[in-house]
């Protein structure tokens, strides 16, 4: 009986605890969140704020690379004028940059 008890104590002393086994996995999750998920959420928040503050006359770029100037704004869409050539109606989600004061490289 005593020998069995001693063997059980030795096994407990040599086997790693659950926390020690999970530590590398938890560390990887924390690093992944800190370097990948958190910055992406911050960029999305800034882009959402930018789209909510759009005004007439702002110069913008669409996700397709079209440069234009905002002529009209509604809840979900924006009408932009493209180089005095025509007008396009695009979703606000398609606008990615504020080009006020910037000119595209030619």
pLDDT digits (tens, 9 = 90+) for 52-62: 899 999 999 99
- Quote the pLDDT of residue 49: 92
> Does 103 have pLDDT greater than 60?
no
- Quote the pLDDT of residue 99: 63
| 74, 92 contact by CB (below 8 A) | no
- Write down the residue that tokens 């504020």 correspond to: 98
Distance CA(11)–CA(13), nearest Å, equals 5
> Does 1 have pLDDT greater than 80?
no
Q: Residue 83's pLDDT band (boundaries 50, 70, 90)?
A: confident
């Amino acid at each position: 009986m005593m020998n069995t008890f001693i063997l059980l104590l030795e096994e407990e002393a040599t086997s790693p605890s659950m926390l020690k086994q999970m530590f590398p996995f938890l560390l990887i999750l924390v690093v992944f969140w800190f370097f990948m998920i958190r910055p992406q959420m911050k960029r999305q928040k800034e882009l959402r704020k930018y789209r909510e503050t759009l005004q007439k006359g702002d110069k913008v770029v669409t996700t397709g690379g079209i440069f234009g100037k905002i002529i009209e704004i509604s809840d979900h869409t924006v009408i932009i004028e493209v180089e005095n050539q025509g007008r396009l109606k695009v979703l606000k989600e398609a606008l990615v940059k504020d080009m006020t004061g910037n000119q595209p490289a030619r």
